[in-house]
Every structure is written in structure tokens, then in C-alpha cells.
Amino acid sequence: MQHRRKPASAAAPAAAKQQPSRRPTAPLSLAGLVVAVFLLAVFLYNEDVVKSGGGGADVAVPGSVAVAGRARSPDLRVLHHHHEEHGEEDAATQKQPPPPAAAAKHQQQQQPQVPAGCDLYQGRWTFDAAGEQSPLYRESECEFLTEQVTCMRNGRRDDSYQKWRWQPNGCDMPRFDASLLLERLQNKRLMFVGDSLNRNQWESMVCLVQSVVPRGHKTLQKFVNNGSLNVFTAHEYNATVEFYWAPFLVQSNSDDPQVHSVMDRVIAWRAIAKHANNWKGVDYLVFNTYIWWLNTFEMKVLKGSGALRNNKGAAGWSKYALVDRPVAYREVLKTWAKWVDRHIDPNRTTVFFMGMSPNHITPWAWGNDGGIKCAMETQPIVNRTAPLNIGTDWRLHGVARGVLARYLHRVPAHFVDITGLSELRKDAHTSVHTLRQGKVLTPEQQADPKTYADCIHWCLPGLPDTWNHFIYAQIVSSSSDA
């Protein structure tokens, strides 16, 4: 049977057939419109909040009854699954990120660490052609460098010696951060004690830290304390980087910091108090003594200490005994170690002892039979398979390690083992691009490297920056923010 289609009037609900109310309809339409716009705005707002919440983070979105209702009755299975997948990421996403300045400061205060089991001194030299990590500063940017070490200014043409970076095996050096180091040095003293090679390293450290100190907030005082002390100060940090002249650590007839070219060198191997009184209260002490021991195979050791007490001058050093170099070296380091262990507070002061800085005067040892000392060398020794013998007295290296292990009981000392890695850097010496008797070598003198090449000291920027990078790694990895 066919169904007839009902007229439109029959399909309409009964309410539609009623007579319209006599009350005006405009206000109702306007109110409805306002309500609709309000609801739409709330809906769009909630959508934005949900999207900004990371698309899946379980957060309560205010202003939405439906979402709030779900938050009050969470699906525990979903939450459990979510935590299994993301672990602690939920807490991190719910934390408000810090403002950029606070985040930067927090990042700066993170404590760099040398990986456990990492031997920083075993590795290889890597050429950093782009200069991204080496050098750590520019020669022209450090106003405190002396002419003795500014090789480029003194006529050296290649700067490749500045771009070699030390890469330990199986780990990385903490990236050098001068600002972080100065934070660690705030209200503290860092002092290098030793000979001209430690002064070389001190100049390097001054250049490393001064780069982040504005002009007018840093000073350098030379030859204070009767000439034995040089002091760089970063005033905003109340931090000093100092150098104290004591080439044998104990007293000797070569202790005059400006007039010390004494050929007949004599040491007093039990007399250390005169120098050591200047080391008390220092927060970081970096000691070295080596190069001044190489002039002779036997050392002249003062007999008795009466000459020192009676202040007899040069005549007081005339009575001495000849002692084999390693024996004298051991006795001097024993005197030094006993003083350190007795007088240094290990809760305040960190002690470093530098390994031996080698010289390069035997070019045949690295295969350059026609070479003259270290002159014209522009590359490190690489791909070496046979033992390298350039004349380093490794006996003294062994003596130093033995004394540190045996005689320092209360105060630990860090042996900075630079010797082997520095032996490879025949290219990094000042050579003929340095001073002689206070004056830059003339072209005629530079043409005579056999007489004038300095294969003991190092150009800056250069190798001593790496030595200081080791010091930096120890300071920042063992310090706290307290």
C-alpha cells in the first residue's frame, strides 16, 4: 500500500503551530547571539591551551567542563602506559621553563667533569684548521704578553703552532670557559712557583682569563715583593693569578728574579722557608723545577746553612759538594714535599706539580738530520713508532712521581704529566722569534739559529695553554658552587 506524503504543515511539531508570544523577540535573539559567541570563544581558547600543552601531556585545562571532568576521572591504564614510555619527562614538561638569563646562568654553573677512568695525558695532537678550539685567545688580544713569547710579532710567518689541539684517548677535555674559571677563582689566589717556564705558563694563564675581564677592571703588577712576584688581578672577582720566582724551589744563588744568569749554580737543598713563606694562604699552587737542573750532570749543593744565616753574599756559596743530579733532585723535592705536607691546609689549597717541559735541540732524533735545533720546525712529531729520545731526563720525571707518592700523606698533589705530549711539539718553541738580552733578535741573529734559537721556551698562544687546560679541568671538576 502506498503511503501518501504528508503536507509540510503536518510534519512540523505542535509547538511550531502555536501563536507567537506577544513579548518582543529581538532581545532574545541578541542574548542568544552573545551566549553563542561566548561558548565559541571558550571552545577556541581550550583548543589553544590543549595544543600548547604538548599534544598528549596530561594536564588539566581550565575553563572546560568536559576536559575537567576527564581530569577528575583519569584512565589509569593510559596514565600507566604514558609513564612507562616517557619516564620522568612528564614532570619536566609540566615545569615552566626558566627565563633565558636564568637558563644561561644555570647552564654556566653546570660543573664540567673529567670522565672516570680518563687519562688526559694519553692521546694525540689534532690540527684544528678552523681554529674553533685552538687557539684559546689571539696574540694581539692579550696586552699582558711579553716580547719573549710573541713569536708572530717577532717575525714568525706561520701560525700553525697555535692550532694544534690535544685530544685524549677515549674522552674529551672539558671545554675551556674563562668565565667559569674566574668564578672558581673568585676571592682566591692562583700562584705559579718556579722558573722561567712556569713564568711562561703563568703568562698563558693570564691571557686565558683576562679575555673576559673588561678594560679598567684588570691590572698587572710586576716585580713586587723584592722583585720575586708578579700579580695579575681581576678586580671584579677579587681574583689573582701570580708568579713567584724560585727556580729550584729551595734557596740558591740564582734567586735574584732579574739577575740570575749564574753559571756556577749552587743550591741549599734543605733551605725552603724563605721562599715558602710567600706560598702560605694561596688557594691554588702550581710548582715546577726542571730546566735549571740540566746544565751539569752533578749539582753543587751548599755545605751547611751558616752562609745563609750570616748573609755572607756570594762568598757564602763557595763551599759546596758535588751530588749526582737525580739524587740532588730527590732531596730538594723531599724538602719541598715535607713543607707542603706540614704547612698546607688541604681543605683550602690545591697543589699541582708540573712534569718536565722538554727542549728540542737534537733534530736527528725526530728524523731531520739537516735541521738546526728547533729552527724552522712547523709541525709536531706525528706517526712516531720508534721510541723518541730528545734528551729529556726521565730519571727526574720518575723521582718527582715517587716523591709525590711517598712523602705527601696529608696533602694530595696533582702531577700534571705534560712531558710526553710536549716532547712531540718541536714546532712550538720561540726559536729565533724571541729576545736576547732584552732585545728582539736582529735579522742577522735570526739567520744564525745554531747560536740564537731558543728551544726551551714556548710561543704564546701555544703549548702552555694546553698545560693550563689540564689545570682548568682539575679546578672546575673538583670545585663546588658553594
Count of other CB atoms within 10 angstroms of residue 212:
15
**Which of 299, 419, 296, 445 lies closest to 359, judged by CA?**
419
How many Cα atoms occupy the beta-carbon half-sphere of 124 within 13 Å? 8
If you count them, how many residues does the chain have?
A: 482
196 carries an active-site annotation: yes
Quote the CA–CA distance of 210 and 138 in Å, as a whole number.
12
Catalytic option among 195, 255, 393, 454:
454
**Which of 447, 473, 374 lies closest to 121, judged by CA?**
473
DSSP assignment string, 413-482: EEEE--HHHHHT-TT-EEETSSEETTEEPPHHHHT-HHHH-EEEEE-SSSHHHHHHHHHHHHHHHH----
Catalytic option among 196, 252, 357, 431:
196
Distances (CA, A) of 56 to 71, 78, 366: 13, 11, 64
Residue 308: its H or E element: helix 306-310
CB 455 within 8 A of CB 427: no
Torsion of CA 247, 248, 251, 254, to 10 degrees: -50
Retrieve residue 312's grid coordinates.
Answer: 755572607
Residue 240 exposed, middle or buried by CB count within 10 Å (0-12, 13-18, 19+)? buried
Distances (CA, A) of 102 to 180, 478, 480: 16, 24, 19
457 carries an active-site annotation: yes
**Which of 271, 290, 334, 119 lies closest to 200, judged by CA?**
290
- Which residue in this structure is represented by grid cell 730528545? 390
- Cα four-point dihedral sign 253, 255, 258, 264: positive
CB 59 within 8 A of CB 67: no
Quote the CA–CA distance of 463 and 355 in Å, as a whole number.
14
Instruction: Mark residue 93 as left, alpha or beta (left: phi above 0; alpha: psi -120 to 50; beta: remaining).
Output: alpha
- Which residue numbers are catalytic? 196, 454, 457
